[in-house]
Structure 1
């Protein structure tokens, strides 16, 4: 199926639980591409939902998740990761048999384990994670092109029905995403290194600089600490939900940092240069991969 075909597969009603940057961007992307007929925003703050309606992000808002779930063909949960499992469990019993539920959380294993521990039939649930975002928050910054050529990871379990996985894959492809699948545990291990560790390091680096030194901080500080501006509450939940994998990634980073420190202490220019070259090589390889994906 080519990308143009995806745009002809309309979803009647899309419900988004958590109309922030990601949820708002999904809504704008789906509406602008004609992928959905209606978007319901689910949240706790009616005033915020009404503002999202007024700004054209969603068609209507609801503070009643069960009622919205009963009307939706596809539900996407875009709330902090420590809330997702309970929200899936809350809405599943009220969904039509043909409806699908997925999420945009950056941790997958713990959500799956929580649902399995509760003995919930989650055959309609497709764990997902769009690798896209910003340090900004709120639907005011929603971008309809946020997922264009972005990597979207789906981690269906043995319990997930294939029809629902196909539906979520088709939806993300219609929004311009490149979809791949993997196991929840593999996702969490890789993302700990490529996403969660960078935020941990950026936060530590930003916190280590004294405030009266900031007047001398320029592009290097800006580029290496940008993601430290992310929502602390959101990232606290991510680190707690993916603690084991994040700690493993942090220890690998700590080992690399120790090697660099030792090379400087010993004035070992050859070792220092080799370590820096290794970092440059990996960064250059990442850039080449991104250029290929975006071409």
Structure 2
């Protein structure tokens, strides 16, 4: 079966979708072939994706890129999503399915209801399914989010959250699940509202924290010196500013304000407790905080890299951590040292 695919948004994620589909197509088990058209407001990422073989052709004009597409993968900044849906939505072919990677799913369903074509009875004839890839652990700590960082194995053995809207046909949901399998991933279903609540903590809050820290530095008296001392630690916390416009950040905050505020309150509470401990020179509280944070991170890191989340499974000590083999060695040394102390 041949499928016409349009990928809107050429970065690491968008190009990796193309590479993964082309990888599947090239295998002996491949039962489907794909013609993949890419689209992006910027010319160079499209050219780069085409050169690496992630897409067959490209067009900056969204309507031309999506014309005749059976499957669309929308991988655009949140602030651009409504305008994109208004552009391509009315011209979608009958039966087309849109897989949307936007950070917020609930608003996207509203755009689909507004702009997608309908039959004479008012029923939709094109559909959207929300997806959120939780990328392969090998790429977790990579700061290269542009096309150059794309890889065919980005989704291998990785969970991809599937968030269908109420009333989405089972065929559209099945297509999303099938595609996730083709690119090497594992589908995990989630309610859209639950997804948006969780994403506030894992995506929006960290991005907001980096933005707020950078803003704080720019307003300080020491900015002339701070600006010359920014290295990867700070740069990675604010890397979202490289790809997000003010509209994207504002939209994510406004359309998910209650969830963001709730997690922000929790973070402020932790920071306030730490601030008080520092002011009081409370070494016990500070040590307890750092020890607990590192201990929990260590357990999470092993599970994230092994993919074994269920309690009761055997621990995996040999999985590499965020620094590759070095991270794994450090984690293993810490665990062995703890075990050695227990034996003494």
Q: For the superposition of Structure 1 and Structure 2, which TM-score range results when normalised by the shorter chain?
A: 0.7 to 0.9
Q: Which residue of 2 aligns with 1:161?
A: 169
Alpha-carbon separation, structure 1, partners of 2:45 and 2:232: 31
Counterpart for residue 24 of structure 1: 15
Aligned residues: 283
TM-score by length of 1: 0.81
State whether residues 8 and 72 of structure 2, in contact with CA within 8 Å, keep that contact through their aligned partners in structure 1. Answer: yes
> Residue in 1 aligned with 2:134?
131
Give the superposition deviation at 1:182.
1.4
Q: Give the gaps of 5 or more residues in structure 2.
A: 26-31, 118-123, 309-318, 320-344
Contact 1:136 1:230 (8 Å CA) reproduced: no
Equivalent of 2:72 in 71, 75, 79: 75
SS at match of 1:85: helix
Instruction: Determine whether 1:229 maps to 2:220.
Output: no
Which residue of the partner structure matches residue 250 of structure 1? 264
Correspondence 1:282 to 2:285:
no
Q: For the pair shown, which has the larger CA radius of gyration, 1 or 2?
A: 2
* 1:191 partnered with 2:199: yes
The 1-side partners of 2:305 and 2:50 are apart by 36
- Helix, strand or coil for the counterpart of 1:242? helix
Q: Distance between the aligned counterparts of 1:96 and 1:215, measured in 2?
A: 52
Pick aligned residue for 2:273 from 249, 254, 259: 259
Structure 2 vs 1, CA of residues 269 and 50 (structure 1 numbering), >3 Å: closer, same or farther? closer
Separation in 2, partners of 1:214, 1:87: 36
Match of 1:173 in 2: 181
Query: Shift in Å at residue 212 of structure 1?
Result: 3.4
Q: State the match for 2:83 in structure 1.
A: 86
> Unpaired runs of 5+ in structure 1?
1-9
Tell whether the 8 Å contact from 1:122 to 1:160 is kept in structure 2 after alignment.
no
Given that 1:13 and 1:74 are in contact with CA atoms closer than 8 Å, whether structure 2 keeps it comes out as yes
Offset of 1:79 from its aligned partner? 1.3
- The CA distance in 1 between the partners of 2:102 and 2:211, in whole Å, is 20
What's the offset of the Cα at 1:119?
8.6
Matches within 5 A, 1:30-109: 30-34=21-25, 36-44=33-41, 49-50=46-47, 52-109=49-106
Give yes or no for contact 2:79–2:251 (8 Å, CA) kept in 1: yes
Kept in 1: contact 2:156–2:183 (CA 8 A): yes
